[in-house]
Structure 1
């Protein structure tokens, strides 16, 4: 099942305080970017945040799950947390700060 655009729009609306968060559709699902870094995936209408020690420190109670088969475990953000924009933004900001800068893509 592919993620509905309405789901991504609801998450982006809640993340207004995080800074410039954008979404990019990929294979029927979405990647969420903060400051040019992929910080989360939205798959099957579920929000999966990249796991980092900093993110776990901000939200230690989140369970892990896989956004797609063979993926590394990610933090699963329950739907009721989507309404807590400041809390969700804090998680994504902590995750983004812990991730390395993206490597520049080579042009073919």
Structure 2
């Protein structure tokens, strides 16, 4: 099941306080980036983030975005400040994006 544009807008509203957030549609779902780093996505109308040390400290509900994918964590909070704290903590732990070859 593909995610709805309405749910994406809801998630983007939650992320309004996170600097440099962008999204990319991929096969009916949406990948989420902050400062160029992939940190999560919207899968089947669920807001999921990568499992890092800081995200595991604040979130506890595991979820699999699609069959065969690595386990992620369900963002089950609706407080913009809490979401910003989660994402900003993750960004420090995620690797820098790879540079594309010309």
The reply to whether residue 99 of structure 1 matches residue 94 of structure 2 is: yes
Q: Where does residue 64 of structure 2 map in the other structure?
A: 66
Q: CA deviation at 1:64?
A: 0.8
TM-score by length of 1: 0.88
Write the distance in 2 (CA, Å) between the matches of 1:102 and 1:48: 19
Instruction: For residue 18 of structure 1, give the secondary structure of its aligned residue in structure 2.
Output: coil
**Any stretches of 5+ residues in structure 2 without a counterpart?**
none
Distance in 1 (CA, whole Å) between partners of 2:83 and 2:69 is 22
- Equivalent residue pairs, number: 102
Consecutive aligned runs of 4 or more in structure 1 exceeding 6 Å deviation? none
Whichever structure has more helix as a proportion of its residues is: 1
Q: Normalized against structure 2, the TM-score is what?
A: 0.93
